[in-house]
Amino acid sequence: MAFTSSVVNAFKHGDNISNEGNHGRHIVVRWFAPQNGWVKLNVDDAFSLATNRAAYDGVVRDHMGSFIFAFTKGLGNCSNLHATHSVSTLLSNIRSLLLPDGQYVWRHIFQEGNSVADALAKHDLSLNLRFRLFDVISDFCVLPFTFDVAFTVYRRGM
């Protein structure tokens, strides 16, 4: 019962929660909408060992969870390290463009709480596009998007 209470409290405060017990450690993960008047950018990268292809992407949604836009960028044949560095560079560039007065929040989330961005990156691996901007949600992202806005809960083992 204490774990259920922790889940309810975490959802009220926009946190993921953990539990350590006899069955190992796990956390409950879901997508959280930003505060009213804010937008949320989720980014992800993907790398295929089989093809050495990499991609990264992002999706922007409002405080209601509504889709605003998304992008993907294929990196072609490269190493996993190059893909990770590319995402770090992207985030540094975004950070430099944001208001210096701290009107943004940075947080790591697991892929279960980032399912639309995860689907975009994996899809781009198959296409190897250089850059693509989406102003409507793509068919392959409809199911992950629906799960996100329905606040679907995932249990992640640690």
Domain ranges of the chain: 31-147
Residues 6+ apart with CB under 8 A from 24: 157, 158
> How far apart, in Å, do the first and last CA atoms of the chain sit?
21
Amino acid at 3: F
Rounded Cα distance, 21 and 127, in Å: 43
Tell me, what DSSP letter sits at residue 30? -
- Contact of 45 with 54, CB cutoff 8 Å: yes
**How much is the pLDDT for 51?**
87
CA angle centred on 111, ends 110 and 115, rounded to 5°: 135
Q: What is the pLDDT of residues 95-142, one digit of tens each?
A: 777 766 667 777 888 888 888 988 888 888 877 667 889 999 989 899
The SS3 of residue 53 is strand
Alpha-helix runs per DSSP H in the chain: 2-13, 80-97, 115-127, 142-149
Could you tell me what percent of the chain has a pLDDT over 70?
80
pTM, whole model, 2 decimals? Answer: 0.76
Taking Cα atoms as reference points, which of 46, 47, 64 lies closest to residue 114?
Answer: 46
Q: What is the pLDDT of residues 33-55, one digit of tens each?
A: 898 988 888 988 888 888 888 88
**Tokens found for residue 62:** 């409002």
Q: What is the pLDDT of residues 68-83, one digit of tens each?
A: 999 988 888 888 888 8
